[in-house]
Structures are given as structure tokens and as C-alpha cells.
Amino acid sequence: MPDDGVPLGEGTAATSDMSVRELTELRDLLFGAERRQLDELRRRLDTAELTSDELAEKLPQAIVQRAARDKQLAIALAPTVESAISESVRRNPHEIATAIFPVLGPSIRKAIAETMSGLVNTINRAIEHSFSPQGIRWRIESWRTGVPFAQIVMRHALVYRVEQVFLVHTGTGLLLAHMPDESLGDADLISGMLTAIQDFVNDSFEPKQTGELRAFAAGDLTVLVETGPQAYVAAVVRGQAPETLPLKLQTTLETIHLQWSDPLARFDGDAAAFTTTRPLLEECIETVLATDQRAKRAGFRRFAWVVPVVVIAALALWWGTRGTRRWNAALARLESEPGLVVIRSERRGGQWHLTGLRDPLAANPALLMASRGIDTTDVVARWQPYVSTEPALLLARARRVLAAPVGITFRINGDTLSASGRAPAFWIARAQALAPALAGVGATNFSGVSPGLPGDMERLATDIESQHVLFAAGTDSLDASARAIIATTAKNIQRIIDAASSNRYDISIHVVGRADPSGAETNNLALSRRRATAVRDRLAGLGIAPVRLAVDAVGSNDPLPAATALERARLNRSASFVIQARPSTVPTSAERTQ
């Protein structure tokens, strides 16, 4: 504040300088802040260019505003961005590769998946068309007409295709819009003609009562028409139009009536306003193939390729495992055989290696395998001996260990060994002592064994039962030595019958036929029966009363023991005799006369 007493407006230079300075001071004090702002504004107006700070402040907002308004910004930036990216890729490809990797990975996967899916689809169609009767028909058609197979497939597989869509002014028949290509040329003429045809039908058939012309067809082309008050839509469809298509056209037409109501009402020949309806019409253009539709109907069609693949794989597997299956069959045969246990089998170095347990009385495993088509020179087998308690082997062992006479029959029930028949008393005592020591035998029952026979009967019975009528392999014919044995035996039989009668015994002679183990058991059983029958008939022919004779056939079961397999086979191609004698309950003729 000036308080030095000098009046303002005094005209000296000094005072003038002073007053200017004071005034400036005063102004600063009064308007300092405003002045600085004014100076700043002036400076900005003078420079007219933004500082980088200001630009940084404004740029994001500016970009957002301009991008919202139009595409000029994007257009302007595009070349710069493109060259920046290519420069960046050139300088440091790694950087940009890393940056876009998260985008690129899924995109590539998606692209591959789509390609694969397309490929599978193509294969499916090809297979479907190649393997079906329909496909073969089409191939013939292709060959006959010279049209490529792919076109034939397309022609037949096409369910429908909406090829063209017309939007036509109802009042004048003038074309408003057309898809797919307005430059087609004659769409205006066609739309005029379409209108004329509708008029023609309307006039000719009075559809005022039946409704308007909705569709007309020629060959595989159908024109569907949906009519509105101001315009109608006509769709040219090749193939079988779906039921949903008219509804789609109707919806499109309604939308056009709603959104273009003003241009429709004022239409006077200028269709420019209707170019914007084309995206709507474009939505009606579509192609549907039979393969697409069937895929929707039955999902398994997508897996048509599975069938031939499975068949081929199955054939390959069958072929490749033929040897294995044969081996498995042989193993099953071995395992079903009493006295054989297979522990491990494997294929190694082109050979089968087999480890197992074998009862000494069991059948020869090599023969069993050979019977199943296995080349036994390819088999390395290691059999450990063991004792089987299976009934068949238990019986064989009992007969062998106990040295049972032929008159004794063994049975096994649970772990009880039962014997029946007739044997000398000393044998019975010894067998009863030994039998429980046999593996697998828990108890014995010898109550069915009758001891000895009185007088000459025992000697005669032992003599008869020691005879074997031997046969050549596979036959039941009696040779000279057989006939001689039968003749001798017949005399003894007659003697024992007589002795039994006087000792009051009922007696019967069982002729037991046997066969060696070669061949099927059913055949062996029949053969053994024929052998026994032949011997019985011979005995009857020699005067033995047939009522005393019975025939037993045991085939190769319950074989007679022998030291070697060869001897055993020879001995069992035979018929032998078993005497059954019981004290008689019927009085003798002498008693009856008394």
C-alpha cells in the first residue's frame, strides 16, 4: 500500500518510475493469482501445441471418445500398428511369440480339433457311402452317368438348400431386395413373374376362401411364399424344405414390416432403402445335407468308421492268437486230466515253457498236447511228481498197491474207500490194514467183500478168474488161442456150477470185457461189450447155461494192472471172468424132494 505521501499524478520522471513500480506491486498484490493464470492461458494460446504432459493426460480419453464416434482412429493407426508389429517381430521374434502364445496355443488346438473333426466326418461319410448299399448304388450311378462320385453323393445327400430369397413389394411386384446376389441380373424379372403367378393362381382358383398361394414346386425345386400386407418373401428351395422354414420366413417378413414400415408405405420404385434388409434375408439362406441330419438323428453314425476298424482288428487278433488259442486249448485239456496240474506256462524264445505237477499214474501229458495239435518239440515241460487224490487216480493206486484180485471192485465216496466182491481171507486182512495208509483215503469199508469159497470152489474160482481171453487191437473176434482158453474155462465153469449146487451156493459168472485206453472211451466201452458178448456166446455154445452168464463192459476204466504200459494195453484188450457166489436161500433139489 503506498503511504509515502507523494500525490499520485505528480509529473516528474522519478516519481513516474516510482508510481509505475508501485502500481505493478499493487497489481501483484491485488491480482497476483489471476495474472499468473492469465499468463499461463496466454502462453498456451501462443504456443497452440500441447505439452507431452498434457497429451499424456488427454490421450486415453481422446482415444475412447474417437473410437466411440467412428472408425477413423483405427484406420489411421492400422498402418503404423502393422509396421510396428512387423518391426518388432523382425527385431525380437521371441518377445512377441511369448506374448501371443496363450492366444496361439488354444487357437492352434481348436484349429487342429476342427480339422480332425472335419477329417473324421469326411471319413465317416466316405465309409458310410462306400459300405452301404446306397453307396454302391451311387457308385454305379456315377459310373453309368460319368458324373463324379462326389457330385452324386452331394446330389443325393442334399436334404435342402435355400438358394435364393426374394423380398418383393406386394402392390407392384417390384423387387425390394434379393439374396444371395442382387447383381444376379434378372431377379427383378423373376420377382415380377412370381407376383404374376400368384395373381394368376389367385384369379384362377379363388383362393380367397382357401388362403393364398404358399408354395409351388417343380422337380426338386420348391418356391415357398410368405405374404404380408406390404411385401412378400419368396424362398427358392432345392430339395425337401423343412417344416420350420415357412415360420422362419414369416418371422423375417414380420421383422421387415415392423422395421421398414415407412419405406414400405412410401415405396414408389426406389428400392435403395431395402438394401439394409439383406442381412435378414441372408439368415434364411442355408444348406442342410442328409449326413448332417442323420448325424443329429443317430449319434452312432459318427462312429461308422469304428465298425470296419473293429472287424479288421478282430481278424488280425484272431490270426495272431491262433497259436495261443491252440495252446490254451491244450492247457485246458491238461488241466482237466486227473493227476495233472499246470502251475505256469509261458512263451519264451519261440518255445512254450511249461511247469506243473504230475501223478505217476496220470496220462502222458505229451500225448494229450499232441492230441490238441501242439507240436511237442516246441514244448519244454518240467513235471514234478506228486500224489493226486482225485477219485480216478485214487482207485488206480488202490488197485495197484493193494494188488487186488480181479473179483474185487473198488469205489470211492468222499474219502471212504469201499471194496466189494470176493477175495481170499488173507488178502482182505492185509488190504484192510494197508488201505488207510493210501494218500486220500480217510476210511475204508470192506463189508462188501466176502471171504473165500468152500472146497473146490475157491480153487476153481481162482483158476477161472486168472484166465484172460486176449483180443487183437480193435477187434472182438476170437482167435485160436482165445477159443482154447474159453474151452478150458468152460469146463472149469461147469465144474464150479456143479460144486456150487452141491454146496448150496448161488453162482453167476460175469464176463468182463475190457479195452486198452487208446481211442475214445465210448468206442472202448462198446468194443469191450462186444468182446464180453463174444466170449459169453462162445461159453453158451459150449453148454454153459446162459442164466449163469452175465456181461460186464468196463471199457478202459478200471484197467487191470501191469508192469509196463505196453503190457497193460495187451492185458486189457481182453475178457476176463468174475465169479459171484453167495450162500443160497433157495433149497436144493435134494432138499425139495425131502
Partner 1 sequence: MIQKKVCMVGIHGTGKTSLVQRYVHSIFSAKYHSTVGVKIDRKPVTVGNTDVNLLLWDVEGRTADQDIPASYLRGAHAAFFVADGTRRETFEQVADLRELVRSAAGDIPSIVALNKADLKDQWVLTASDRATLIANGFHTLTTSAKSGEGVEDAFRWIATAALSVAST
| Options 108-116, 183-191, 291-299, 450-458: segment touching partner 1 (CB under 8 A) | 183-191
Q: Which of residues 125-154 bind partner 1 (CB under 8 A)?
A: none
| Options 22-30, 266-274, 368-376, 576-584: segment touching partner 1 (CB under 8 A) | 266-274
From the list 192, 242, 454, 519, which residue makes contact with partner 1 (rule: CB under 8 A)?
192
Distance in Å, CB of 184 to partner 1, minimum:
11
Which residue's CB is nearer to partner 1, number 275 or number 413? 275
Distance in Å, CB of 170 to partner 1, minimum:
8
| Options 59-67, 164-172, 288-296, 381-389: segment touching partner 1 (CB under 8 A) | 164-172
| Exposure string for 464-487, b = 16+ CB within 10 A, e = fewer | bbebbbbbeeeebebeeebeebbe
Distance in Å, CB of 231 to partner 1, minimum:
12
Strand 416-423 vs strand 408-413: parallel, antiparallel, or unpaired? antiparallel
Q: What is the CA radius of gyration of the chain?
A: 58
Which residue's CB is nearer to partner 1, number 84 or number 189? 189
Alpha-carbon distance values, 548 to 74, 323, 536, 544 (Å): 124, 56, 10, 7
From the list 116, 150, 189, 217, which residue makes contact with partner 1 (rule: CB under 8 A)?
189
Q: Provide the 8-state DSSP code for 586.
A: S
From the list 188, 463, 537, 558, which residue makes contact with partner 1 (rule: CB under 8 A)?
188
Binding-site residue total for partner 1 (CB under 8 A)?
23
In this structure, are residues 194 and 168 in contact, taking their beta carbons and an 8 Å threshold?
A: yes
What are the grid coordinates assigned to 493, written together? 465153469
Distance in Å, CB of 255 to partner 1, minimum:
23
3-state DSSP assignment of residue 9: coil
Q: Residues 193-232 vs partner 1: string with x where CB under 8 A?
A: x--xx-xx-xx-----------------------------
Which residue's CB is nearer to partner 1, number 194 or number 469? 194
Q: Give the C-alpha separation, 438 to 436, whole Å.
A: 5
Distance in Å, CB of 285 to partner 1, minimum:
22
| Options 184-192, 368-376, 533-541, 549-557: segment touching partner 1 (CB under 8 A) | 184-192
569 sits in which H/E element: helix 565-572
Cell match 475204508: residue? Answer: 444
Distance in Å, CB of 174 to partner 1, minimum:
5
Q: What is the DSSP string of 343-377?
A: EEEEEETTEEEEEEEE-TTS--HHHHHHHTT--GG
Which residue's CB is nearer to partner 1, number 25 or number 270? 270
In this structure, are residues 419 and 394 in contact, taking their beta carbons and an 8 Å threshold?
A: no
From the list 175, 253, 362, 532, which residue makes contact with partner 1 (rule: CB under 8 A)?
175
Distance in Å, CB of 283 to partner 1, minimum:
24
270 contributes a contact to partner 1 by CB under 8 A: yes
Distance in Å, CB of 250 to partner 1, minimum:
23
Strand 158-169 vs strand 287-289: parallel, antiparallel, or unpaired? antiparallel
From the list 223, 235, 271, 362, which residue makes contact with partner 1 (rule: CB under 8 A)?
271
Alpha-carbon distance values, 49 to 38, 39, 60, 77 (Å): 17, 16, 18, 21
Which residue's CB is nearer to partner 1, number 141 or number 182? 182
268 contributes a contact to partner 1 by CB under 8 A: yes
Which residue's CB is nearer to partner 1, number 197 or number 542? 197
Which spans in 503-563 are helix H? 521-541
Distance in Å, CB of 259 to partner 1, minimum:
21
Distance in Å, CB of 189 to partner 1, minimum:
5
In this structure, are residues 386 and 440 in contact, taking their beta carbons and an 8 Å threshold?
A: no
In this structure, are residues 421 and 449 in contact, taking their beta carbons and an 8 Å threshold?
A: yes
What are the grid coordinates assigned to 303, written together? 462312429
From the list 19, 121, 172, 508, which residue makes contact with partner 1 (rule: CB under 8 A)?
172
Which residue pairs from 515-518 have beta carbons closer than 8 angstroms and sit at least 24 positions apart in sequence?
515/555, 515/556, 515/572, 515/573, 516/473, 516/556, 516/568, 516/569, 516/570, 516/572, 516/573, 517/363, 517/556, 517/559, 517/569, 517/572, 518/473, 518/569
381 contributes a contact to partner 1 by CB under 8 A: no
Which residue's CB is nearer to partner 1, number 197 or number 357? 197
| Options 91-99, 165-173, 208-216, 318-326: segment touching partner 1 (CB under 8 A) | 165-173
269 contributes a contact to partner 1 by CB under 8 A: yes
346 contributes a contact to partner 1 by CB under 8 A: no
Q: Tell whether omega for the bond before 180 is within 30 degrees of 0, i.e. cis.
A: yes
Cell match 518377445: residue? Answer: 95
| Options 124-132, 188-196, 311-319, 377-385: segment touching partner 1 (CB under 8 A) | 188-196
In this structure, are residues 576 and 468 in contact, taking their beta carbons and an 8 Å threshold?
A: yes
Which residues in this chain contact partner 1 in the complex, by CB under 8 A? 169, 171-175, 186, 188-190, 192-193, 196-197, 199-200, 202-203, 268-272
